[in-house]
Amino acid sequence: MPLYVYRGLDAGGRAVGGVVDADSPRGARQKLRRTGVFPTDLSEDRGTGSTRRVAARRSERVPAAELAAVTRQFSTLVAAGLPLVEALGALSEQAERPLLGRTLAQVRQEVTEGSALAEALARHPRLFASLYVNMVRAGEASGALPVVLERLADYTENQARLLAKVRTALTYPAIMLLLSGTILFFLLSYVVPKVTRIFQETHQQLPLPTRFLLGLSDFVAHWWWLVLALAAGAVLGVARWARTPAGRARVDRLLLAAPYFGRLTQKLAVARFARTLSTLLASGIGLLPALDIVKSIVDNTVLAGAIERARDAIREGQSIAPPLRESGLFPPLVVHMVAVGERSGELPAMLAKAADTYDDEVENAVGALTTILEPVIIVFMGGVVLFIVLAILLPIFELNRIVK
């Protein structure tokens, strides 16, 4: 069934848009009017045929919070007894983002043609990661799809909330650094040359701090473009190198070994590991396939290697706790809780508790880091400004002494 992209007005006169499936443009308009939408523009979406995957542009993204909300709505509709095709149709029509609406409409079409829901979702990896697909597959196999979708929504919301807290806490220091750098560049390239020009005209021996400031100011004023070009080239070069396997492994090791930031990176990765593994096991996925999925989402090759070694050890008959302990990358608390969970048969619950603990530790660590960074940045900028003021005042004191 063709898909149509529409724009129109709802009953309250607000602009709306999305996709709708229908046999013809006339059928699409009638279907929209029945839902209270009056279309002003309607065109067939030829990029979403039944045999083609949705071609998502690189600039298009669906926030994790929005995907979690759609997943929770999906769970509610399926739990209410609505068939998958109808539930997917309802979700695609009310999706606010065109990418999400087109993708859900395509998934609906593939399910209508006989594909399993997990198989249809797997054809759209930009939106539905392997974790999402495998949990849905487990829910379909066990007949507990609404419960699994609810867990998926909880998991996605928890991850989005944690990352949002980290970004929010680090935003203020980042803005302060940016503004401080901009002010410093302005002082060195424009203000200092204007103020210190009189000192150069005296032809007197200037103090060392003043000579250093003049040299630095002259370099910035004449070669700022070279500095920016070199900085941009270095950033691009490091980013390209970090995308190679050897570069990525090196960067991940440096991140874990960095003072303070290494502990924060480790806690963040361990919290994600515990939360994801708990969600997968609680949804009925076996330990070995669950570890395969978790390995790909910890976002650190060093930790991923430790998880892979743990998976190999489990395949050979060991329990999960010893290889995690031997890696030295997982805190003793996590290893102990995993061991207790294995012995008691409550591994998902113990992992969830460990995830809660480390989510709180990450939040506290980020808050402490922000508290430390703010005065450090202020003191640093104060020191820079003090140096500039002294470098300007010292020649003035010398001139006054000579005049006397």
**Rounded to whole angstroms, what are the CA distances from 55 to 93, 100, 221, 273?**
19, 12, 47, 31
Q: Is residue 304's pLDDT more than 60?
A: yes
pLDDT tens, position by position, 157-190: 887 887 787 777 778 778 888 888 888 888 777 7
* Same-domain pairing of 331 and 365: yes
Look at the block and give the residue holding tokens 């709708």. 20
pLDDT tens, position by position, 336-386: 988 898 888 888 899 889 888 888 888 888 878 778 877 888 888 888 888
* Same-domain pairing of 96 and 202: no
* Inter-residue contact 360 to 163 (CB < 8 Å): no
* Same-domain pairing of 179 and 272: yes
* Same-domain pairing of 100 and 65: yes
* Same-domain pairing of 126 and 57: yes
Pairing of strands 15-21, 38-44: unpaired
* Burial class, 315, CB count within 10 angstroms (exposed 0-12 / middle 13-18 / buried 19+): exposed
Residue after which a domain boundary falls, among 135, 156, 177: 156
* Burial class, 64, CB count within 10 angstroms (exposed 0-12 / middle 13-18 / buried 19+): middle
* pLDDT at site 54: 41
Single out the residue of 151, 146, 113 nearest to residue 279, CA to CA: 151
Q: Any alpha helices (H) in 187-207, and if so which ranges?
A: 192-201
| Confidence at 60, pLDDT banded by 50, 70, 90 | low
* Inter-residue contact 245 to 216 (CB < 8 Å): no
* Same-domain pairing of 292 and 370: yes
* Same-domain pairing of 142 and 247: no
* Inter-residue contact 41 to 6 (CB < 8 Å): yes
Three-class SS of 226-250: HHHHHHHHHHHHHHHHHCCHHHHHH
* Same-domain pairing of 49 and 185: no
Q: Is residue 84's pLDDT more than 60?
A: yes
* Burial class, 375, CB count within 10 angstroms (exposed 0-12 / middle 13-18 / buried 19+): exposed
Quickly list DSSP for 245-273: HHHHHHHHHHHHHSTTHHHHHHHHHHHHH
Copy the structure tokens of residue 356.
């809660």
Residue after which a domain boundary falls, among 156, 183, 198: 156
Residue after which a domain boundary falls, among 138, 156, 174: 156
* Same-domain pairing of 177 and 149: no
Total domains, the chain: 2
Q: What is the mean pLDDT of the chain?
A: 80
* Inter-residue contact 131 to 297 (CB < 8 Å): yes
- Look up the domain containing 220 and give its range: 163-404
* Same-domain pairing of 82 and 195: no
pLDDT tens, position by position, 213-244: 878 888 877 887 888 899 899 989 988 888 88
With vertex at residue 364, the alpha carbon angle to CA 129 and CA 353, rounded to the nearest 5 degrees, is 55
* pLDDT at site 260: 79
* Inter-residue contact 192 to 213 (CB < 8 Å): yes
* Same-domain pairing of 233 and 151: no
pTM equals 0.65
- CATH number of the domain that residue 299 is part of: 1.20.81.30
Instruction: State how far the Cα of 165 lies from the Cα of 367, in Å rounded to an integer.
Output: 9
Calculate mean pLDDT across residues 56-70: 71
pLDDT tens, position by position, 385-400: 888 888 877 777 766 6
Q: What is the DSSP letter of 205?
A: P
Please give the torsion angle defined by the CA atoms of residues 116, 122, 126 and 129, in that order, rounded to the nearest 10 degrees.
110
* Same-domain pairing of 192 and 145: no
Q: Is residue 15's pLDDT more than 80?
A: no
